[in-house]
Structure 1
Amino acid sequence: DPFGDVIKTIMNAIHNEAKLSPICDLGSQNYEQWAVQKERQAAKEEDKTVRVCAEFLRRYNEGLILSNTIRMSDALSYLNKFHEEQVKKKTSVDGEQNIQITDTERFLFKLFKDKKEELETFSKNPKYENDSLSKLREQILREFSSRGQARGIIFTKTRHSAITLSQWIQENPKFADVEVKPSHVIGGGDQSDTKPMTAAEQKDVLKKFRAGEVNLLVATTVAEEGLDIPACNFVIRYGLSTNEIAMIQAKGRGRADDSSYTVVDVKNSGVAERECVNEYREEMMGKAINKIKGQSREAYQKQMMEFQLQAIMEERMRQVKRKQKAIKDEKPSHVKFSCRNCAKPVCSGEDIQIIENMHRVNVTTQFKELFIQRENATLQERLLDYETNAVIACKDCGQPWGSVMVYRGMDFPCLHVKNFVVNINGKKISNCTKWSDLPIRFTAFDYIEHASMMAQGSDEEMG
């Protein structure tokens, strides 16, 4: 795996630069968790070198996982895109603002630049294709060659891998020879870097699958439950294993009498081991069901009543704890926010107001002096009362802070808490990924007050 070896060489050079010593395998989920923890700890300690190195290591680890799952060229595209974004962060919009580039960032940029040509060379050589992809190709060709009316689903872990696997199948002439007509179906939630699918887009793909225009779906776990997918005669789980329930649901998609269920392992995924555990759990589940069937109706109903009462009491206790936590909400004045990358103080909780119980905006005029604004077409989102169409970033270091929100005709910087280190009464918190993680009640946004101020300012300018 020379392509993967180059990525590992880059990662080890970063380990030396940041004096880091991971104890888990590169290209594994455990390594990703380690890198995330290092980034959070470094952000809290204001260690810029380790923080930025940990972020790059997490991305290289993802590239390594991708190269073990999909094409090397797809993994390289992912890394290219990440580096282009990082370089863009350090480029001012108008050329006038000097954005700080640290020696560590220069080292990281040069490291990728020096190795890029080598990665490109290996990615173009088909003999270095990963074994898992070869096994998947063989299994797909076997299914479509041995069945008159083959129709199947490939389950994969991420949206990115679902899209790129579908593209790989479309671009490979061997699949066209056996009349494979692929498409992908992914989730609709907006929780990853990959653009989600709308309900209408999902419906359109499934309609084509029913009609036979598509005979192979590449899907994330959204297709295991919650989507009405027609019967198919083979299911492949590619580098994906969750629990025994998901395994049974995936098998259930193959409803034909001669349907098959195949698991293709991916390097460092642990899929084969988990699938063995799931099969054992499925067997135990069957025994438990048979035992329940042997109970009398009275004994069964009594036991069910006990379980239901226990569940009700546990939920009541959780509600009490949630109320107690709400009572302990800190005052906004006790909260400070600093840039996650350069640790520059940004604002206080008193400067933040909340729109529609969801969007946290900074309404102060002094805050506008701290950030630069960039257009971002991929971010564009339009709803009834608001839209977002630009990114705001730290004027000093280029770290993204959030987006520009146009709410009923007025522009406001909308903050994303994951981009900051939060300080509550002197205690630093660096693992907040969403605003609900913070026990803070921000002031509600007053539209009339701000609209009046804006109108007054416009009148004065015209006068």
Structure 2
Amino acid sequence: MQANQSLPLPGCDEASPKKCGLELRGYQIELASDAIKGRNCIIVAPTGTGKTHVAMFIIKASSRRKKKKVMFVVPTVALVEQQKRLFEKYLHADVIGISGDVELSLTELLETHTLFVLTPQILENLLRKESSHMLELSLLIFDECHHTKKEHPYNAIMARYHEHLDLDPNSDLPQIVGLTASIGVGKAKDSIQAMDYILGVCANLNTYYITTVTKNVQELSKATNKPVEETEECSGRKYDPFGNMINEVMSNIEMMIQMPPKGNDDDVEGDDDQIVQWHLCYIRPEDEAIFCIMLSIYNNALMINADCRTKDAVNFIRTKVGEFEDTPTGNSNNQTTISLMNNWQSTSVTLPSYHQNDFYDNPKLELIKSKLIKQYKQNEDSRCIMFCKTRDMTVALKNWMNETEELKSLNATNLVGTNAPAYKAGQTSAQQEDVLKYFKNGKHKLIIATTVAEEGLDVQKCNLVLRYEHVTNSIARVQCRGRARAENAASCLIAERGRGIAMKEKINEIRERMMTVAIKRIQEMNFEERRRCIKTMQHRAKASFQYISEELKKIKLHQNLYEIRCSKCDSLGSLSDKVRKIENSHHVVIDPSMKDRVIIKPYPQTENISPTFERSGKIYCKECNSDWGIMASYNGVSFPVIKVCGHGFSFSFMTSFNF
């Protein structure tokens, strides 16, 4: 078939394919080729090339099968409604979109509907209750399938798939199709490691085929506008009295935490172990929560100050402290609260002199302003997206732009995720849709976004993409760049000199090239060799899982006291009797002395795990810096939450083993 030919959907009137409302270009037909043959496959193509249209073509083709049920799984709530509308428009089908609570269970809906767009946890919850539902599906499509690894819900769904496959290799399991703009290479250092990483994702998705455009390359090139890429480094503030003052305040708080309790040993009843434990637990749980809240506020303010105005950082502290004072804890007569509030009041007196002085302006903002003025001078109807690290940063940058005379006309707004409430700068799905609608019609000409806008969302073609101190991995690099799809578009990283951001970007650029080479080499492998490599990886994963399961059974069987030790350096983490399970899934350590054995690195922004559970940072082994898990707050009380794969378990009745 010629590159410029269009192929009507199966079942459509071939004499008039437009009646279907959907036609495919030659390169899209090529991308669908393996899936149409019924093969499990991963489709890799740049952002904006119509992978969703390819998926709809595959869905239409699958309708000829005896089993009709299709699930299109998307990683975020925002994508559910967007993809549902597309499917309804082009497939003329009754599509069920599920991203949260619904009036009927998914089990009931499966009896009456055939096409679903949903988030992965919904499907995982269904399969956890009754895994046989997997056998009812004809086709399972994972959008942004590069997430199928480690603890992601995509991988949990595929674990259920592999369970059926292991029990009966001839099971009538659904066809698996993955869609992505970049499969990634993880932290690969060379092409061999890159191939191993990609083959690992293939193993998780049980596919031997990676489908890319190799024949219709010219047509694909014409359909995609590759932006000009650049990196601009600049210096931060020469003088930062606000940052110095807040760092000093945080140091004082940390000294308060480390101070031993007043009183003497006679104040504590119990044996020697209890007294030792009391001394190790310097602060009460309720005080610990207060310290964590204030340190988090100050830390986030430092981040805002570094990348935005001191004024925005000061306003952030005032807002968050005000919110804290309105809580029962913040409004109590607790001595720790009173001390910290007095500390803040004395500090806040001198702050206006800093943020009202032009001498302390942020030079990085001047660079951003000059780039935006230049862009909108060239094309006043331009659209721009700026990516930054946190929700609070999007608010600060929006306020700066809308208060800056030269940028007011852009009417900047922000776009963030739905996984946080409004008081934490989160947005609803409806608010996200409004932002994108007004961005498209020009009411907002600039969006300041977190990672929520990197993947999948149907964002208006942009003339300029700015990544402000925002570099994560090679996958995100491809996703962000893909937003600059207008003709003569540009993608620019703005980074402070000396932070290492620009170097990280160069590493990601190299890894992106490694991914392209690795995919080509995998495609060129003899099929049996490729199949053998993937099967070997699956067998290793299965053996590892079985080993862990057996050892956990031994723990339950013997109920002996055992030690939790670092798998890398064998240093003690805690004892088993200090571990508790919260919300039936999170293993928290209630041993206060564990904090002496870990390094805690706070997150830039706390994240909700559930309505009552919030993660605030990472924990690492103090001896070897291995990743042990996270710090999380449950109903305001902070605990270390360990992950099994970061530890070894040793028992009194057996030798040590590591996960």
Q: Output the TM-score relative to the length of structure 2.
A: 0.43
Report the CA distance shift for 1:301/1:43 in structure 2 as closer, same or farther (over 3 A).
farther
Alignment correspondent of 1:229: 459
Residue type at the aligned position of 2:475? I
Alignment correspondent of 1:395: none
SS in 1 for 2:538: helix
Is the 1:241–1:275 contact (alpha carbons within 8 Å) kept by the matching residues of 2? yes
Alignment correspondent of 1:338: none
Question: Which 4+ residue blocks in structure 1 deviate beyond 6 angstroms?
Answer: 90-93, 328-331
Alignment correspondent of 1:3: 242
Measure, in 1, the Cα distance between the counterparts of 2:436 and 2:542: 41
Report Cα offsets for 1:193-229 as digits up to 9, x if no partner.
Answer: 7242222221221122222222211111111112111
Report Cα offsets for 1:378-416 as digits up to 9, x if no partner.
Answer: xxxxxxxxxx9xx9xxxxxxxxxxxxxxxxxxxxxxx97
Residue type at the aligned position of 1:417? Y
Measure, in 1, the Cα distance between the counterparts of 2:320 and 2:450: 23
SS in 1 for 2:491: strand
Report the CA distance shift for 1:192/1:4 in structure 2 as closer, same or farther (over 3 A).
farther
Report Cα offsets for 1:43-64 as digits up to 9, x if no partner.
Answer: 9942118945565334322211
Is the 1:151–1:232 contact (alpha carbons within 8 Å) kept by the matching residues of 2? yes
Q: CA deviation at 1:66?
A: 1.1
1:417 correspondence with 2:651: no
Percent of residue pairs bearing the same amino acid type:
26
Q: CA deviation at 1:130?
A: 1.6
Measure, in 2, the Cα distance between the counterparts of 1:175 and 1:157: 21
Measure, in 2, the Cα distance between the counterparts of 1:92 and 1:160: 21
- 1:174-185 correspondence runs (5 A): 174-176=406-408, 179-185=409-415
SS in 1 for 2:465: strand
Report Cα offsets for 1:313-341 as digits up to 9, x if no partner.
Answer: 3553465367557757879xx9xxxxxxx
Counterpart among 127, 152, 161 of residue 393 in structure 2: 161
Report the CA distance shift for 1:194/1:140 in structure 2 as closer, same or farther (over 3 A).
same
Is the 1:67–1:75 contact (alpha carbons within 8 Å) kept by the matching residues of 2? yes
Counterpart among 347, 350, 362 of residue 118 in structure 1: 350
1:100 correspondence with 2:334: yes
Is the 2:413–2:435 contact (alpha carbons within 8 Å) kept by the matching residues of 1? yes
Alignment correspondent of 1:74: 312
Residue type at the aligned position of 2:450? T
Q: CA deviation at 1:148?
A: 4.5
Alignment correspondent of 1:431: 640
Residue type at the aligned position of 1:8? N
Counterpart among 283, 304, 307 of residue 48 in structure 1: 283
Report the CA distance shift for 1:313/1:433 in structure 2 as closer, same or farther (over 3 A).
closer
Residue type at the aligned position of 2:634? V
- 1:181-196 correspondence runs (5 A): 181-190=411-420, 194-196=424-426
1:208 correspondence with 2:438: yes
Measure, in 1, the Cα distance between the counterparts of 2:551 and 2:365: 49
Measure, in 1, the Cα distance between the counterparts of 2:428 and 2:422: 14
Q: CA deviation at 1:285?
A: 3.2
Counterpart among 84, 109, 115 of residue 322 in structure 2: 84
Counterpart among 517, 527, 531 of residue 305 in structure 1: 531
Alignment correspondent of 1:282: 512
Residue type at the aligned position of 2:400? W
SS in 2 for 1:108: helix
Alignment correspondent of 1:143: 375
Q: CA deviation at 1:141?
A: 1.4
- Greater helix percent: which structure? 1
Report Cα offsets for 1:278-332 as digits up to 9, x if no partner.
Answer: 1222333344455556x3xxx343343234324433553465367557757879x
Q: Unaligned stretches of 5+ in structure 2?
A: 1-239, 260-276, 561-577, 587-610, 613-631, 647-659
Measure, in 1, the Cα distance between the counterparts of 2:452 and 2:544: 28
Is the 2:439–2:445 contact (alpha carbons within 8 Å) kept by the matching residues of 1? yes
Report the CA distance shift for 1:47/1:157 in structure 2 as closer, same or farther (over 3 A).
same
Is the 2:392–2:425 contact (alpha carbons within 8 Å) kept by the matching residues of 1? no
Measure, in 2, the Cα distance between the counterparts of 1:282 and 1:166: 31
SS in 2 for 1:48: coil
Q: CA deviation at 1:156?
A: 0.7
Measure, in 2, the Cα distance between the counterparts of 1:72 and 1:189: 28
Measure, in 1, the Cα distance between the counterparts of 2:308 and 2:456: 26
Q: Unaligned stretches of 5+ in structure 1?
A: 21-41, 335-347, 360-387, 392-414, 422-429, 438-463
1:173 correspondence with 2:405: yes
Q: Give the aligned CA root-mean-square deviation in angstroms.
A: 4.5
